[in-house]
Amino acid sequence: MNDYQFKVVKLQGDFVWHDHKDTDETFIVLAGRLRIDFRDGHVELSEGEMYVVPKGVEHKPYAEQEAQVLLIEPRGVVNTGDEKGSKTAENDVWI
């Protein structure tokens, strides 16, 4: 939609610290629970809750048990920001 992508992801365990310098990132929890850590605190989200991480804010998602999450972000945004590694997902892959 208008060059935004809606990505359904499954998360479990720790992700990586990263930021998105040019865009906000929206998390909507579809199932399970999600914690988003920040350098100065965290937010905890339950099923049906949403949180917007402002652009440039370093964060690290974490789910003790599997969480299903809808991410909303502009097309081409890399899930790990500038932090490339084993958890970096390829964009525009349909499964």
Q: pLDDT at residue 18 above 80? A: yes
Q: Are 50 and 40 in contact (CB under 8 A)?
A: no
Q: pLDDT at residue 80 above 90? A: no
Beta bridge partners of 72: 6, 26
State pLDDT tens for residues 54-68: 999 999 999 999 999
Query: pLDDT category, 71, cuts 50, 70, 90?
Result: very high
**Structure-token pair, residue 41:** 């605190």
